[in-house]
C-alpha cells in the first residue's frame, strides 16, 4: 500500500477540529493496519486513528500519521449460542444496526446518533439512555487492537484490568481493528413523545426514569417546557409514523425549521428567547418501530457539545442550577439541554463507572460563541463530581480528571504497558492523561 503524504485537511463532523497530517492511510484489513503502526513506531512517528469524526474534542487530531479505519467495516455472523458478533472497528452504528437487523439481532441500547464508528463510540463512552442498561462499551466482550509497539493483542473480559481499560480507551491504547459485541434478538420499541412542564419533570423525575426502559428529555432554555421521550419494549407489531407525519415531525420540525431558528438566533441573539417559543410545546405522538429506528435520530443541524455525567440523585438540582445560571448570566441559548440516564458499570474510564448516572448535555449552534456558557455549566457539574464525556468538549486536565475515577492509576499503568513510547499520544491526550503519565 503506497504512502499518501499529503496536504489534505481532515475535519470532524462539527468542523471545530482540523488536522493536516503528513501521511494519511486507509488500511484495507487488520494486517495492513498493524504494518502501518509497526512502521510508524520504528520511524519514531505518532499515529492517530479516525472514524467518522463525530467527536468534538481533539482526541483524533493527527499532526503526523492519520489512519482512517473506514474500510475495516465488516460485520460477522451472530453466534446464536452466545449472542455475540465480531465487527470491524470502522463500521458505523447505522450500518451495524442494519446488518444486525438482517440477521434478526440488535444492540440492547444505543445513543441517539448513528454516525459514529463502533470503535469511536466505545472509546469515548457513548451511552444512550436507560437506567437499567449500560452504555455501548458495556456490550463489548472482546477487543482486537494494535498496540504502540505494532503488536497485535486480543483482549477479552477475563483479562481484568487490561480489558476494563480497553473498553473506554479514548484512542490512547492502540488502534482497534475489531470488537466482539453482545447482542440481543431484535425487538420493537414504542416511543411516546410529549411536552411536559419543567417543574413536573423535576418533581416526578425519579418515577419517570424508573418507570421507563429508556427515558430522556430536552429542556428548552428561556421557556418552562421540556420535550420528553419514553421508549419501552412492546410485543405488538411495529406501527411507525405515517410518511407525511414522519417528514413533518422528524425532517421539517426537528431539522429544517429548527435549523432556521438557530440561524436567526446566531444572526440576532436577542431574538432567541422569543424564537424558543416556536419550538413545539403541545401535542403528543406515539409510534413504534424496530429498536434501532427509534433510538437514532436525524441530526442535520450542526453544533458543538459538552456533556457531563453526574450521580443520578443530583440531576434535578444540577439542572435547576443551569436553568437559573442561564437567566442570571443572560446567555442566549437556542439549543435544548439534553438529559439522559444509565446504569453504572466497571469499565475503568466509563463515565458511569461505579454509579447510576445522569447525563446533562449542552449544545451551541455551529459558529456561535460557546466557551463562556460551557465553562459556566462545567463549573456546576464539577460540584457533583461530574465526569466529561470523552468525545465532547470540556476544559479539564489530568490533575482534575484523576480525582474523578477510582482506578485512574490502573488505567495509566495499562496505557504505559500498551503504548510505552506514546505512539498514540497527541496534545489532547497529553492534556487529559499527562505528558508521560
CB of 346 within 8 A of CB of 399? no
**The C-alpha cell of 339 is what?**
438529559
Q: Which one, of 431, 285, 307, 294, lies nearest residue 359 by Cα?
A: 307
| pLDDT tens digits for range 371-423 | 999 999 999 999 999 999 999 999 999 999 999 999 999 999 999 999 999 99
Structural domain includes residue 283? yes
- The reported pLDDT for the residue numbered 246 is 87
Mean pLDDT of 244-258: 86
CATH of the domain at 38: 3.30.43.10
How many domains in the chain?
2
- The reported pLDDT for the residue numbered 281 is 53
- The reported pLDDT for the residue numbered 299 is 84
3-state DSSP helix/strand/coil percent for the chain, to nearest 5? Answer: 35, 25, 40
Residue 437 has pLDDT above 70, yes or no: no
Torsion of CA 178, 9, 111, 188, to 10 degrees: -80
Count of H-run helices and E-run strands, the chain: 14, 19
The confidence band for 326, taking pLDDT boundaries of 50, 70 and 90, is very high
Q: Exposure of 403 by Cβ count < 10 A (0-12 exposed, 13-18 middle, 19+ buried)?
A: exposed
Torsion of CA 420, 421, 423, 429, to 10 degrees: 70
Structural domain includes residue 305? yes
Structural domain includes residue 319? yes
Mean pLDDT of 134-147: 97
**The C-alpha cell of 240 is what?**
411507525
**The pTM is what?**
0.95
- Phi/psi at 420 (nearest 5 deg)? -65, -25
| pLDDT tens digits for range 265-290 | 999 999 998 888 776 555 789 999 99
Residue 245 has pLDDT above 90, yes or no: no
- The reported pLDDT for the residue numbered 3 is 47
- The pairing of beta strand 357-365 with beta strand 303-311: antiparallel
Q: Of 37, 68, 99, which residue is a domain's last?
A: 68
Portion of the chain with pLDDT greater than 70, in percent: 97
Structural domain includes residue 419? no
CB of 373 within 8 A of CB of 362? yes
Structural domain includes residue 138? no
Q: Are residues 50 and 192 in the same domain?
A: no
Q: In which domain, by residue range, is 49 found? A: 10-68
CATH of the domain at 376: 3.40.462.10
Helix (H, G, I), strand (E, B) or coil at 269: helix
Structural domain includes residue 57? yes
Q: How far apart are CA 206 and CA 359, in angstroms?
A: 14
Mean pLDDT of 46-57: 96
Q: Which one, of 223, 323, 314, lies nearest residue 273 by Cα?
A: 223
The confidence band for 247, taking pLDDT boundaries of 50, 70 and 90, is confident
Q: Of 68, 85, 110, which residue is a domain's last?
A: 68
- The reported pLDDT for the residue numbered 6 is 57
Residue 219: strand pairing partners: 226, 337
Structural domain includes residue 354? yes
Q: How far apart are CA 225 and CA 320, in angstroms?
A: 13
Structural domain includes residue 215? yes
Torsion of CA 178, 184, 190, 195, to 10 degrees: -50
| pLDDT tens digits for range 73-113 | 999 999 999 999 999 999 999 999 999 999 999 999 999 88
The confidence band for 152, taking pLDDT boundaries of 50, 70 and 90, is very high
Q: Of 68, 93, 118, which residue is a domain's last?
A: 68
- The reported pLDDT for the residue numbered 179 is 98
Q: Are residues 59 and 203 in the same domain?
A: no
Amino acid at each position: 500500500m503506497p504512502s499518501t503524504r499529503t496536504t489534505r485537511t481532515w475535519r470532524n463532523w462539527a468542523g471545530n477540529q482540523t488536522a493536516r497530517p503528513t501521511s494519511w492511510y486507509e488500511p484495507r484489513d487488520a494486517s495492513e493496519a498493524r504494518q502501518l503502526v509497526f512502521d510508524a513506531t520504528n520511524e519514531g512517528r505518532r499515529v492517530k486513528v479516525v472514524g467518522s469524526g463525530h467527536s468534538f474534542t481533539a482526541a483524533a487530531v493527527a499532526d503526523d500519521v492519520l489512519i482512517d479505519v473506514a474500510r475495516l467495516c465488516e460485520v460477522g455472523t451472530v453466534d446464536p449460542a452466545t449472542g455475540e458478533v465480531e465487527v470491524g472497528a470502522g463500521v458505523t452504528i447505522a450500518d451495524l444496526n442494519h446488518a444486525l437487523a438482517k440477521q434478526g439481532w440488535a444492540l440492547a441500547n444505543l445513543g441517539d446518533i448513528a454516525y459514529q464508528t463502533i470503535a469511536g463510540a466505545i472509546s469515548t463512552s457513548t451511552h444512550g439512555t436507560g437506567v437499567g442498561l449500560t452504555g455501548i462499551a458495556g456490550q463489548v466482550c472482546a477487543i482486537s487492537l494494535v498496540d504502540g509497539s505494532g503488536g497485535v493483542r486480543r483482549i477479552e473480559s477475563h483479562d481484568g484490568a487490561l480489558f476494563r481499560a480497553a473498553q473506554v480507551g479514548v484512542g490512547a491504547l492502540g488502534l482497534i481493528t475489531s470488537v466482539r459485541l453482545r447482542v440481543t434478538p431484535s425487538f420493537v420499541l414504542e416511543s411516546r413523545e410529549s411536552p411536559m412542564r419543567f417543574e413536573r419533570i423535576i418533581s416526578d423525575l425519579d418515577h419517570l426514569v424508573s418507570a421507563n426502559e429508556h427515558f430522556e428529555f430536552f429542556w428548552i432554555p428561556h421557556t418552562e417546557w421540556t420535550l420528553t421521550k419514553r421508549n419501552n419494549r412492546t410485543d405488538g407489531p411495529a406501527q411507525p409514523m405515517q410518511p407525511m407525519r414522519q417528514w413533518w415531525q422528524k425532517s421539517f420540525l426537528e431539522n429544517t425549521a429548527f435549523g432556521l431558528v438557530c440561524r436567526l438566533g446566531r444572526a440576532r441573539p436577542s431574538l432567541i428567547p422569543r424564537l424558543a417559543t416556536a419550538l413545539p410545546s403541545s401535542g403528543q405522538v406515539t409510534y413504534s418501530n424496530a429498536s434501532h429506528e427509534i433510538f437514532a435520530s436525524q441530526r442535520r443541524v450542526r453544533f458543538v457539545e459538552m456533556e457531563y455525567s453526574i450521580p443520578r440523585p443530583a440531576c434535578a438540582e444540577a439542572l435547576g442550577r443551569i436553568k437559573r445560571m442561564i437567566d442570571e448570566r443572560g446567555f442566549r441559548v437556542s439549543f435544548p439541554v439534553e438529559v439522559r440516564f444509565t446504569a453504572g458499570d466497571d469499565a475503568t474510564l466509563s463515565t458511569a463507572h461505579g454509579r447510576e448516572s445522569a447525563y446533562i448535555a449542552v449544545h451551541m449552534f455551529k459558529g456561535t460563541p460557546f466557551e463562556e456558557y460551557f465553562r459556566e455549566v462545567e463549573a456546576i457539574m464539577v460540584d457533583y463530581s461530574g465526569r466529561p464525556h470523552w468525545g465532547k468538549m470540556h476544559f479539564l486536565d489530568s490533575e482534575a480528571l484523576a480525582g474523578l475515577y477510582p482506578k485512574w492509576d490502573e488505567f495509566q499503568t495499562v496505557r504505559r504497558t500498551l503504548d510505552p513510547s506514546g505512539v498514540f499520544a497527541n496534545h489532547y491526550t497529553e492534556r487529559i492523561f499527562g505528558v508521560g503519565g
